[in-house]
Structure 1
Amino acid sequence: MSLYERLYDESEQANVRFIGFISEHGRYDFGIVYTRMFFGKPLVVCMQTGRSSLLALDDLENLDDLQRLYNLRSLTEAEEVSVFLRNNLPALTLEAEAESG
């Protein structure tokens, strides 16, 4: 008897973008992994903390969650990261949602 049940085992060629910016509050470096998995949400990795999360544009509206997810010092920093990611994450399309669902 198996101790676990495999939920998925997929391979794909993923696009990865490394992008960073600096503001008056700090430096931010992110890796963005674009994939068709996970409802088309890209995996966003903070290169400083190693923290990662699947994010879509609507996830960027909750600054408290963004601050907690990436261990940011203030809501001001969370707002800066939100604006930055909003300009760099793809909008989910109905096609991507249909492929995932």
Structure 2
Amino acid sequence: MHERLYDETEQANVRFVGFVSDQGRYDFGIVYSRMFFGKPLVVCMQTGRSSLLALDDVDNLEYLQKLFNLKSREEAEEVSAFLCNNLPALTLESEAESG
């Protein structure tokens, strides 16, 4: 028997973004939702790996490198810079609204 924790339906905004740099090509899907305290779900299209990420999370380069299976710290820095410019800032008000 399973205890259901939640079962929500939501019309979510999804954005697909691809970019190239000196380090490689990157393709991400970003699912914006009110669920999960407003943290968007970021999906790496090359690896299929995904995680809920907020701006605070993208400063952790080791985490990003491991999460998205990036080959170098330089790749992690580029992905971090990209995500810093493309993830919404979470505020106490937005967290309260989504909770």
Question: TM-score band, normalised by the shorter chain?
Answer: over 0.9
For residues 57-87 of structure 1, the C-alpha deviation after alignment (integer angstroms, 9 at most, x for no partner) is: 0001110000000000011100100000100
The alignment partner of 1:72 has SS state of coil
Question: Shift in Å at residue 51 of structure 1?
Answer: 0.4
Partner of 2:10: 12
Q: State the TM-score, normalized to the length of structure 2.
A: 0.96
Question: Shift in Å at residue 4 of structure 1?
Answer: 1.1
Please tell me the residue identity of whatever aligns with 1:25: Q
Please tell me the residue identity of whatever aligns with 1:27: R
Which of 68, 71, 76 pairs up with 1:70? 68
Q: Tell me the distance in 2 between the aligned counterparts of 1:12 and 1:84.
A: 26
Q: State the TM-score, normalized to the length of structure 1.
A: 0.95
Gapped runs of 5+ residues in structure 1? none
Please tell me the residue identity of whatever aligns with 2:4: R
Gapped runs of 5+ residues in structure 2? none
Q: Tell me the distance in 2 between the aligned counterparts of 1:53 and 1:71.
A: 13
Report the aligned-residue RMSD: 0.8
Which of 18, 21, 32 pairs up with 2:19? 21
5 Å-filtered alignment, 1:1-101, equals 3-101=1-99
The sequence identity of aligned pairs, in percent, is 80
State the number of aligned residues. 99
